[in-house]
Amino acid sequence: MCLLNAGGTLLLLLLFGQSLSTPRSFSVDYRSDCFRKDGKEFRYISGSIHYNRIPRVYWKDRLLKMYMAGLNAIQTYVPWNYHEESPGRYSFSGDRDLEYFLQLAQDIGLLVILRPGPYICAEWDMGGLPAWLLNKKNIVLRSSDPDYIAAVDKWMGKLLPMLKPHLYQNGGPIISVQVENEYGSYFACDYNYLRHLTKLFRSHLGEEVVLFTTDGAGLQYLKCGSIQDLYATVDFGPGANVTAAFEAQRHAEPHGPLVNSEFYTGWLDHWGSPHSVVSSAAVAKALNKILATGANVNLYMFIGGTNFGYWNGANSPYGSQPTSYDYDAPLTEAGDLTEKYFAIREVIKMYRKIPEGPVPPTTPKYAYGAVGMKKLQTISDALEKLSFSGPVKSMYPQTFTDLNQAFGYVLYRTTLPVTCSKPTPLSSPLNGIHDRAYVSVDGVAVGILERNKALTVNVTGTAGSQVEILVENMGRINYGKDINDFKGLVSNLTLETETLTGWTMYSLSIDDAVSQGLLGGKQPPPTDPPQPAPLSLPAFYGGSFIIPDGIPDLPQDTYIKLPKWRKGQVWINGFNLGRYWPARGPQVTLFVPANILSTAAPNNVTVLELEEAPCGSGPCTVEFTDTPVLNGPVTSHDKQDWGLFAKEDLL
């Protein structure tokens, strides 16, 4: 291994003396099994940070903490759907300012390993692919399908030229660029697709840049994941056999540097499954082993951050990921230092000189306390303000894609075709609720339908009664063969055996209505018919709080918790913090970054509660606390099997 091979250095310098004359270069050295930077042997110890999961104001703090841990590089994905939310409309400003992020990393002294996809997995909605790709209903994603390739070519034609000046050899921090992501785990195994991407990346970035792939550390993954001209690397966690894992890489790359592109410091969560934790001791021990072989490593994640808004992904069989992407990483969701951070730093210290000076401290958190909430309006009451585009009518239900809506909620309305005096099953026989639906008849909540879990509710009512079904998109599948994940009612509903027809569908622009303050009614909310416990109609609740005077350094970060609330979405001053679901767990608190809080005006909290707010009886409050709770009890007792995905053999 090259880093242990100090004696050979002089000879190597002579052999590769030519590259010394190039001022900035980065390459794979197949002769001495290492990377070579400016002609010298080079090994990276890197950490993953996703700029899209951290508010821009905190990028510098997180990067600095990574630098102070002894890392010399960072790794990030570029989520296509975050930058091109509708075709041809690109967004690279504010929290999406990728070039500023790259510049910050460089200013701090960190190199960058870039993973621009087009597919990224990442527990991110649809693995980073834009949902509008599904406008072509039969598109084969991640393959040579011409519709897919055309969209990829256009996107990469925008992204890659923008990145080119940031390549190491052009004066920037990017030392290498990953093509696709764990492609060997995907069923298509389309080498023409990988070849196409290779040509595309080369045409925009040049011949010199190091392009690589990442796959599970097993021959079965490397088979379809690696091709010529892309340097094959592997990923594995602290439970793996390091020797065997790198032997797998050697099978694909007999020579060149050893690289673990994703060394797992923790693991992801799913709603309804216990919070994942991986011990610091296990991480430190395995990291030491990897570094002792002379290998390059990227710690995934070094900081996980937050799936704000609707950005979380899901696994198949359908299980969605929570709002927090803490990952039990060495820096918490909020960027706090942990025991794991210092354990990792101690290991790195044995292999490279780490920067002197103090580590930036954990940012203070503040408990603003309880905030009283008042009911504003139900979704149905607020329909005119929520559905700017007005309803769409059709015989059979349409999907989010048909309605041109990517995220959030759609309201489906129809009527009972016959009188149901006895409880009558309203069902989705083909499991077409994507992903959760809140059902009411004539303004009375009657039940919840959920993908794979609850396909029938009983209804009663007279012919012509109004049936309303609010369907929530809980995040698109981001891994495996089911990533063409259409949302809404994706198949017909039946009443007994009769297919329901005559639908009116309302696309809901809830985020716009919340940020424009349209939901705060001056008059008291209309009274709904009495609701049978334990459900009520999906409705908005509002409250506000003032940042106290006379305490220095406020506003500070905080966490919001919603005790006795069940499931919904929460905004502060119009910023969508994400989903809460303490009734299912394990996440209990949501991270509230200080930058969305105001000292100039009362801070407005808006909650969309989908099931039942605690406001009928007892205190109707939300609470701001200084302590996160991500490991609350879980109440979904079905044991999910994410077998293929979980790569447990690699953990």
Ligand X SMILES: *[C@@H]1O[C@H](CO)[C@@H](O)[C@H](O)[C@H]1NC(C)=O
Give catalytic residue positions. 182, 262
How far apart (Å, rounded) are the C-alpha atoms in residues 405 and 143?
A: 25
How far apart (Å, rounded) are the C-alpha atoms in residues 89 and 87?
A: 6
340: closest CA among 260, 278, 296, 297?
278
Q: Which one of the spans 184-192, 296-304, 305-313, 451-459 is the region binding ligand X (CB under 6 A)?
A: 451-459
Q: Rg (Cα) of the chain, in Å, rounded? A: 26
Buried b (16+ CB within 10 A) or exposed e, 474-495: bbbbbbbeebbbbbbbbbbbbb
Residues within window 478-497 making contact with ligand X, judged by CB under 6 A: 491-492
Q: How long a stretch of residues is the chain?
A: 651
Record the tokens describing residue 417, joined without a space.
């075709």
How far apart (Å, rounded) are the C-alpha atoms in residues 299 and 329?
A: 9
Using the rule CB under 6 A, is 377 a contact of ligand X?
A: no
Q: Which of 161, 274, 369, 602 binds ligand X (CB under 6 A)?
A: 602
Query: Alpha carbon of 511 to those of 112, 375, 434, 607: distances in Å?
Result: 34, 18, 20, 11
How far apart (Å, rounded) are the C-alpha atoms in residues 181 and 161?
A: 20
User: Per DSSP, what are the bridge partners of residue 111?
Assistant: 73
CB of 412 to ligand X, least distance (A): 12
Residue 265 identity (one-letter amino acid): T
- By C-beta, is 277 or 395 nearer to ligand X? 395
- By C-beta, is 7 or 534 nearer to ligand X? 534
CA atoms within 13 A on the CB side of 508: 22
76: closest CA among 128, 28, 149?
128
- By C-beta, is 520 or 614 nearer to ligand X? 520
Q: Which of 143, 452, 598, 636 binds ligand X (CB under 6 A)?
A: 598
- By C-beta, is 397 or 586 nearer to ligand X? 397
> Beta strand 40-42 with 45-49: parallel, antiparallel or unpaired?
unpaired
Using the rule CB under 6 A, is 150 a contact of ligand X?
A: no
CB of 396 to ligand X, least distance (A): 4
- By C-beta, is 272 or 432 nearer to ligand X? 432
- By C-beta, is 464 or 517 nearer to ligand X? 517
Q: Which of 462, 499, 627, 635 binds ligand X (CB under 6 A)?
A: 499
CB of 422 to ligand X, least distance (A): 7
Q: Which of 181, 214, 280, 603 binds ligand X (CB under 6 A)?
A: 603
Q: Which of 239, 369, 390, 423 binds ligand X (CB under 6 A)?
A: 423
CB of 221 to ligand X, least distance (A): 16
CB of 404 to ligand X, least distance (A): 17
CB of 546 to ligand X, least distance (A): 10
Using the rule CB under 6 A, is 350 a contact of ligand X?
A: no
Q: Which of 203, 220, 241, 419 binds ligand X (CB under 6 A)?
A: 241
Report residue 364 CA to chain centroid gap.
25
CB of 397 to ligand X, least distance (A): 6
Residue 306 identity (one-letter amino acid): T
368: closest CA among 546, 628, 614, 543?
546
Record the tokens describing residue 5, joined without a space.
């091979």
Using the rule CB under 6 A, is 573 a contact of ligand X?
A: yes
CB of 597 to ligand X, least distance (A): 8
Q: Other C-beta atoms within 10 Å of 583: how many? A: 18
Using the rule CB under 6 A, is 601 a contact of ligand X?
A: yes
Using the rule CB under 6 A, is 456 a contact of ligand X?
A: yes
Query: Alpha carbon of 333 to those of 54, 60, 121: distances in Å?
Result: 9, 15, 19
Q: Which of 517, 563, 616, 619 binds ligand X (CB under 6 A)?
A: 517
Using the rule CB under 6 A, is 249 a contact of ligand X?
A: no
- By C-beta, is 81 or 603 nearer to ligand X? 603
238: closest CA among 153, 338, 328, 323?
328
Using the rule CB under 6 A, is 466 a contact of ligand X?
A: no
Record the tokens describing residue 607, joined without a space.
């909650």
**Rounded to the nearest 5°, which phi and psi values hold at 385?**
-80, -20
- By C-beta, is 491 or 595 nearer to ligand X? 491
Using the rule CB under 6 A, is 293 a contact of ligand X?
A: no
Tell me if 221 sits within 8 A of 182, measured CB to CB: yes
3-state DSSP assignment of residue 538: coil
Q: Which of 243, 421, 497, 617 binds ligand X (CB under 6 A)?
A: 243
Using the rule CB under 6 A, is 502 a contact of ligand X?
A: no
Q: Which of 214, 306, 604, 606 binds ligand X (CB under 6 A)?
A: 604
In the DSSP assignment, the letter for residue 53 is G
Q: Which one of the spans 96-104, 145-153, 587-595, 597-605 is the region binding ligand X (CB under 6 A)?
A: 597-605
Q: Which of 99, 247, 496, 512 binds ligand X (CB under 6 A)?
A: 247
Using the rule CB under 6 A, is 362 a contact of ligand X?
A: no
3-state DSSP assignment of residue 265: coil
How far apart (Å, rounded) are the C-alpha atoms in residues 324 and 139?
A: 31
Using the rule CB under 6 A, is 203 a contact of ligand X?
A: no
The site that binds ligand X (CB under 6 A) totals a number of residues, namely: 22
The residues binding ligand X (CB under 6 A) are: 241, 243-244, 247, 396-397, 423, 425, 456-458, 491-492, 499, 517, 520, 573, 598, 601-604
